[in-house]
Chain A
């Protein structure tokens, strides 16, 4: 099976812009989770989608949003970018049922100038 893919791999934006990142899960996986990794805060949970519904959401402002399509592909959007949004954004897919082994994508490295 193909692994989790994320596009784009690298992205440079300026403050105030918005960005959309994409994640294609492993075939058959219905859950996609998004994580943010920064040098200061480490890895933090953003949100999880399961069968096109947001199942849970971390403590991030409303500028961070996402969605999931019927084929389980997911997008996350960050509006009104701030310098502090510069990070590695990782998505992980899983079957979505306990036990929940997650398979991570390579990440999208976002730089906000």
Chain B
């Protein structure tokens, strides 16, 4: 079983829809990252969270440490939001030597006009 699970694996939406991507993890963490990967491979770091909620433009990320769960929300989705969204967790220092970041398998989002 993967230590970081994302759902859904694939998501299609119409422009303007509200989108939620979920990430659940089974290890203790010191931080959680949300990353965006466009076709071609380049990765952009969207958020780094250790508690609560962060907002940047139309993107909102939340984390519940007790439930080991994080969500990424996209409001008023747009075709340019089409990408793979990856959740990654930073484990505690004891594992940091071998697993600086543990990645989920990603959620492929397609937004149609």
Residues in A lying within 8 Å of B, measured CB to CB: 33, 35, 37, 42-45, 48, 56-59, 88, 90, 92, 98-107, 109
Chain A residue at minimum C-beta to C-beta distance from B4: A42
Instruction: Verify A56–B100 contact, CB threshold 8 A.
Output: yes
25 pairs of residues in contact across A and B, judged by CB atoms under 8 Å? A35-B101, A42-B103, A42-B104, A42-B105, A43-B86, A43-B88, A43-B101, A43-B103, A45-B99, A45-B100, A45-B102, A48-B100, A56-B98, A57-B97, A58-B99, A90-B41, A92-B43, A99-B50, A100-B31, A104-B35, A104-B44, A105-B42, A106-B42, A107-B41, A107-B43
B82-98 interface (Cβ within 8 A of A): 86, 88, 90, 96-98
Q: Point out the residues of chain B lying under 8 angstroms from A88, CB to CB.
A: 41
Residues in B lying within 8 Å of A, measured CB to CB: 30-31, 33, 35, 40-45, 48, 50, 86, 88, 90, 96-106
- CA A44 to CA B103, docked complex, whole Å: 7
**What's the count of A-B pairs with C-beta under 8 Å?**
58
Q: Point out the residues of chain B lying under 8 angstroms from A90, CB to CB.
A: 41, 43
Chain B residue at minimum C-beta to C-beta distance from A31: B100
Chain A residue at minimum C-beta to C-beta distance from B88: A43
Chain B residue at minimum C-beta to C-beta distance from A107: B41
Instruction: Verify A58–B98 contact, CB threshold 8 A.
Output: yes
New A-B pairs, 9, CB < 8 Å, besides A43-B88, A88-B41: A37-B41, A42-B103, A45-B99, A56-B98, A90-B43, A104-B43, A106-B41, A106-B42, A107-B42
Chain A residue at minimum C-beta to C-beta distance from B95: A56
- CA A33 to CA B96, docked complex, whole Å: 13
Chain B residue at minimum C-beta to C-beta distance from A88: B41
Given known contacts A99-B48, A100-B90, A101-B48, A33 and B41 CB-to-CB distance under 8 angstroms: no
- CA A90 to CA B40, docked complex, whole Å: 12
Q: Point out the residues of chain B lying under 8 angstroms from A104, CB to CB.
A: 35, 42-45
Q: Point out the residues of chain B lying under 8 angstroms from A100, CB to CB.
A: 31, 48, 90
The listed residue (A37, A45, A59, A103) touching B45 by CB distance below 8 A is A103
